[in-house]
């Protein structure tokens, strides 16, 4: 088992990073750190995907010098998935930041627990 973890060292680290990001997003009270956690989590998945598609000694999947032999390039699908994932992660980050700005303007704090308490005191 430890040997397998060493062979797939990128995936091992990706899963550890995923755990770190997940815990930050779930448990941290500061909204900004939650957003950082979200980004760590997404980046971990991207590392996981890219490392899976990478074959050592091959070229990036962009046709160079007119060579179309597929065996000279790495698998392009995971890279495509990562690009899509980056777009999704950016839009999530933007939305969360917008929400955070609004909450901060209203309550002057970034602590989600305090915000919840303050909101409860408000009349609906």
Of 4, 9, 2, which is closest to residue 54 (Cα–Cα)? 9
Q: Which of residues 77-106 bind another protein (CB under 8 A)?
A: 77-78, 81, 84-85, 88, 91-92, 95-96, 99-100, 102-103, 106
Q: How far does CA 112 lie from the centroid of its chain?
A: 21
Asked if 124 is part of the footprint of another protein (rule: CB under 8 A), the reply reads yes
Both tokens assigned to 115: 């915000």
Of 80, 46, 83, which is closest to residue 38 (Cα–Cα)? 46
Q: Which residues pair with 73 in a beta bridge?
A: 59
Site of interaction with another protein (CB under 8 A): 11, 18, 21-22, 25-26, 31, 34, 38, 41-42, 45, 48-49, 52, 77-78, 81, 84-85, 88, 91-92, 95-96, 99-100, 102-103, 106-107, 112, 115-116, 118-119, 122, 124
């Amino acid at each position: 088992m430890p040997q397998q973890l060493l062979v797939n060292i990128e995936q091992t680290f990706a899963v550890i990073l995923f755990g770190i990001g997940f815990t930050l997003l779930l448990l941290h009270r500061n909204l900004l750190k939650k957003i950082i956690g979200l980004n760590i989590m997404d980046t971990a998945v991207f590392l996981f995907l890219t490392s899976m598609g990478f074959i050592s000694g091959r070229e990036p999947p962009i046709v160079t010098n007119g060579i179309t032999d597929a065996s000279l390039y790495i698998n392009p699908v995971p890279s495509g998935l990562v690009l899509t994932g980056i777009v999704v992660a950016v839009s999530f980050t933007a939305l969360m930041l917008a929400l955070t700005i609004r909450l901060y303007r209203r309550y002057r704090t970034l602590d989600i627990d305090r915000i919840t308490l303050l909101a409860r005191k408000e009349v609906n």
